């Protein structure tokens, strides 16, 4: 434990800087223009986070963890989740050998807050990673995931893990917020979305068609250094995969955590030569089929290095499909709406968990969430979470290992920015507010009593049953009120801009 | 061959009557009030059908065929086709071991014409089994599948097969139209839909909830005799399954064809005690889960009798989900609309084909249709179709056996009653007329040029691409015109009423 903390504190390029507020420094490209703005208060939090680390209990062999995280993948986008024209043989095989989760949720309906929820096991409302003004971080944003947060990576690092982040981050692009400042030994990827800093008025569709990645000024970083700008997105899934495979080979027998966050199928859509024109679903299908190939490569590498049976792999995405992009966006299948909405299509994701030899093949209809990954991984790694903060995640290790068929997750809270829009308990979901999809700043519709849906009987949220079950609507309303009054609000990290 | 014909002609209770027009006779219950009304012209057709039988070429062992046909099952209703709360482990296993077809069509968007297409390999427009006035046959209908038609059963019977029909027929309930008059050695089932002849004003929902099957006057027939009226629908899936299992055991090593046509999940919904309240999808899920159990029983029986590897099993349904029944109806998943419409949700069905040892596991994205079953079965049984009539079905035996990955089916014609509404060729589908779902007699919208959708890129038929591909819209328009002008219209069997 001590060794892990020391290692973390002593990393010259990240933790060191966490204790040096107001230091300005020069780096290549865009980073050169940025300043570290960590306040003394933030430093204290960091110190606190390091003094209250995850405690290790177990002497057993620690399993490895690989999280493969997509961007804007719809519930219905995989063949094993019902897509009729996209081919995903590797994911289908993973689902057949592992657990296919049909009620697995993300922490928010858009990118940044969803990723914050996954990384910290806490709803973004608790750490300022959501906002009603700006939905996500933009290249001019000055905020990011507070250093006081415990992340999957910092927690596992404290338990002796090697850690690597590959792909899209989107939890802050200033150095103090980058993966290497949050417990990752290394980072290779893009700091925010692949459509950001687009130049010119050409549409995403036309740019994708022309394979013109240069219109997007998003950089690729290695650790904290910009190594490519603009990122050549045509080969980005391939290169992220190769990096992750290299890490698997490098880590070998040491316990490791790899976070492979593909920036696709978020628009603009690019895929490497081999996948061009291959899918009968068109360019969107090509992109998914390359991600499917990537999953196959990762699993092949785990097998080749002999760690397959000691590695838990989770495949999911950050939020539902971006429907307004039509054939360049995915589908939520029979679920309602998509990205940016708190209807099921916005927050329920096609999720597959594999761990050969430990997970018995099956379909899990119980609830789970990306919020649960941190508590689950820490538990499986023999650690324990500190009690100085609220975790919204629950430990799914028993259901993953087949020790129970019941999930400890009984509720789900659906946030839209800083507002609680809906609550699920058991099969019932109450909507207090709804807002259709990703359409600007229109006002939400407000419901009192709430709309009530039975998600088992009616996964498409079509038939309001509030009149039949008024007492359940009341119960969920109370649950929402209790939750909301129990949340201590903190300043949003998403509103500040560099130079303000 | 000769033996088969003789056997068919000499059956005392069916074929004999085919040659005895205008004979009235008495039978128990409703049949007692009916008269045979086969004209001399029809008798000639029957004779012709028997003189131009399917010719047998092959001396090889003939495979058995089992068709499990549901009623109003939606594309998205099975777990392996993406349903998040209905559990279908037996169908999932069948899909994993066999072929899961994602572009498999029925011959019409409602019951009677769809079944006529399956049984004859011909579009219902060619044999009068569709109508713009009455969509299906009703208990007062005087028509049925013309005796001149060659059916899967009569064709296979001519090739030495034992044949059994179990379940819903709906191709005519007068004796000359019943399964035993169409090449089936035996029949056990209901002659038309399970919601027919409802007494009283109580809703289907309430009757299902109260398990009150007695409000529906539909009978169960054994061969041509009514053996139960009203049919106790609570145990109907179970009893149909038991009958089919008995037939498998009875047939043993002799080549056989079993047509097991469940009358569910067509409303009203009933299921046996064991499945009551079991599904998290509610009563609809209970019903599907009992059908899934049934599939497991059939496959178990094939294994137990040692014929599993010599039996091709096809699972599909007659048309899409009856959406107006909400939680008592199914879902087409991401496909548009349902039963009664020529949008994909009305006519594309979740289809699984299994044949252990012959079919390599896989997903087939090529087109297929229930129209193709007759030509495929006849081909696999070593027979040949006569050339005296047009068959709309194509022989899928090569793609089923993995000898090719390309389907010979290149087009699909979507009829609404007697009208051609849409045509698919390759990935493109042109709609000349559309009518939303199953809503009375509203007029269709007419499109000239047609709406054009790329079903690979856009399986949900959301984005008309006619403006981008005007030449394809024109090609499909020509194809539709050629098809329509080539169809010889015959009087509809669906309009006549008993006693008229």
Encode pLDDT of A465-479 as tens digits. Answer: 999 999 999 999 999
- A340 φ, ψ (degrees, to nearest 5): 90, 0
For residue B430, give the nearest of B457, B397, B470, B390 by alpha carbon: B470
Say whether A327 and B457 touch across the interface (CB within 8 A).
yes
Interface pTM, i.e. ipTM: 0.88
pTM recorded for the entire structure: 0.89
Q: Say how far apart CA B164 and CA B247 lie, in whole Å.
A: 7
Report the residue from A280, A334, A454 with minimal CB separation from B76. A334
pLDDT exceeds cutoff 60 at A31: no
Q: Say how far apart CA B35 and CA B273 lie, in whole Å.
A: 39
Q: What band does A500 get if pLDDT is binned at 50, 70 and 90?
A: confident
Mutate to test the interface with B, among A84, A284, A343, A406 (most CBs of B within 10 A): A84
Q: Tell me which chain A residue has its CA closest to the CA of residue B103.
A: A84
Which tops the pLDDT comparison, B42 or A177? Answer: A177
Predicted local distance difference test score (pLDDT) of residue B443: 87
Predicted local distance difference test score (pLDDT) of residue B312: 98
Q: Catalytic one among B83, B130, B170, B454?
A: B170
A154 sits in which H/E element: helix A152-158
Encode pLDDT of B154-178 as tens digits. Answer: 999 999 999 999 999 999 999 999 9
Of A71-75, A292-296, B435-439, the poorest mean pLDDT is in B435-439
CB < 8 Å to B102, chain A: 84-85
Mutate to test the interface with B, among A287, A334, A462 (most CBs of B within 10 A): A334
- Mean pLDDT of all residues in chain A? 89
Contact B73, B317 (CB under 8 A): yes
Predicted local distance difference test score (pLDDT) of residue B438: 61
Rg (CA), chain A: 21
Q: What band does A436 get if pLDDT is binned at 50, 70 and 90?
A: confident
Say whether A102 and B96 touch across the interface (CB within 8 A).
no
Contact B78, B91 (CB under 8 A): yes
In chain A, the percentage of residues whose pLDDT exceeds 90 is: 85
For residue A363, give the nearest of B97, B281, B87 by alpha carbon: B87
Encode pLDDT of A210-263 as tens digits. Answer: 999 999 999 999 999 999 999 999 999 999 999 999 999 999 999 999 999 999
Q: Which residues of chain B have pLDDT under 70?
A: 1-60, 438-441
Sequence-distant (6+) residues with CB within 8 A of A312 are A63, A64, A65, A66, A353, A354, A355, A358, A359, A377, A380, A400
DSSP string, A336-405: ---TT-SSHHHHB--EEEE-TTTSPPEEEEEEEEGGGHHHHHHHHTTEE--SSS-------HHHHTTS-S
In chain A, the percentage of residues whose pLDDT exceeds 70 is: 87
- Name B66's bridge partners: B258, B313
B57 is catalytic: no
Predicted local distance difference test score (pLDDT) of residue B436: 80
CB < 8 Å to B92, chain A: 363
> A143 in helix, strand or coil?
coil
Number of other CB atoms surrounding residue A482 within 10 Å: 9
Say whether A327 and B281 touch across the interface (CB within 8 A).
no
A111 is catalytic: yes
Residue found by looking up tokens 């509030």 in the block: A466
């Amino acid at each position: 434990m001590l060794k892990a903390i020391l290692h973390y504190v002593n990393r010259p390029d990240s933790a060191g800087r966490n204790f040096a507020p107001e230091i300005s420094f020069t780096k290549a490209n865009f980073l050169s223009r940025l300043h570290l703005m960590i306040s003394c208060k933030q430093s204290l939090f960091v110190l606190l986070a390091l003094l209250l680390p995850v405690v290790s209990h177990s002497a057993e062999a620690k399993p490895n963890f690989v999280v493969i995280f997509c961007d804007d993948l719809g519930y219905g986008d995989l063949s094993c989740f019902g897509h009729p024209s996209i081919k995903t043989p590797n994911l289908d095989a993973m689902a057949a050998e592992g657990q296919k989760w049909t009620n697995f949720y993300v922490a928010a309906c858009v990118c940044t807050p969803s990723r914050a929820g996954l990384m910290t096991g806490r709803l973004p409302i608790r750490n300022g990673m959501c906002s009603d003004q700006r939905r996500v971080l933009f290249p001019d944003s000055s905020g990011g995931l507070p250093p006081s947060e415990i992340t999957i990576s910092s927690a596992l690092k404290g338990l002796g893990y090697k850690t690597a982040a590959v792909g899209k981050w989107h939890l802050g692009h200033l150095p103090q917020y980058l993966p290497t400042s949050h417990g990752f030994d290394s980072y290779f990827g893009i700091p925010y979305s692949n459509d950001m800093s687009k130049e010119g008025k050409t549409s995403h569709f036309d740019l994708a068609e022309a394979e013109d990645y240069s219109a997007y000024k998003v950089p690729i970083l290695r650790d904290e250094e910009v190594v490519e700008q603009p990122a050549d997105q045509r080969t980005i899934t391939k290169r992220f995969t190769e990096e992750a495979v290299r890490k698997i080979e490098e880590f070998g027998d040491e316990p490791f955590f790899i976070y492979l966050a593909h920036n696709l199928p978020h628009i603009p859509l690019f895929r490497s030569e081999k996948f061009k024109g291959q899918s009968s679903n068109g360019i969107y299908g090509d992109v998914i089929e390359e991600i499917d190939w990537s999953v196959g490569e990762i699993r092949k590498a785990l097998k080749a290095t002999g760690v397959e049976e000691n590695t838990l792999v989770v495949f999911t995405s950050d939020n539902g499909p971006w429907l307004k992009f039509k054939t360049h966006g995915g589908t939520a299948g029979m679920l309602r709406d998509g990205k940016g909405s708190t209807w099921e299509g916005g927050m329920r994701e096609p999720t597959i968990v594999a761990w050969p030899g430990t997970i018995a093949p099956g379909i899990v209809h119980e609830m789970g969430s990306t919020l649960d990954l941190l508590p689950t991984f820490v538990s499986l790694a023999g650690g324990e979470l500190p009690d100085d903060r609220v975790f919204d995640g629950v430990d799914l290790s028993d259901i993953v290992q087949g020790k129970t068929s019941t999930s400890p997750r009984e509720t789900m809270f659906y946030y839209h920015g800083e507002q609680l829009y809906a609550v699920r308990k058991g099969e019932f979901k109450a909507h207090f507010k709804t807002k259709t999809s990703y359409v600007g700043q229109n006002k939400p519709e407000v419901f009192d009593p709430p709309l009530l849906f039975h998600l088992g009987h009616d996964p498409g949220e079509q038939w309001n049953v509030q009149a039949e079950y008024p007492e359940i609507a009341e119960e969920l309303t109370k649950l929402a009120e209790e939750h909301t009054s129990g949340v201590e609000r903190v300043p949003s990290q998403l509103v500040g801009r560099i130079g303000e």
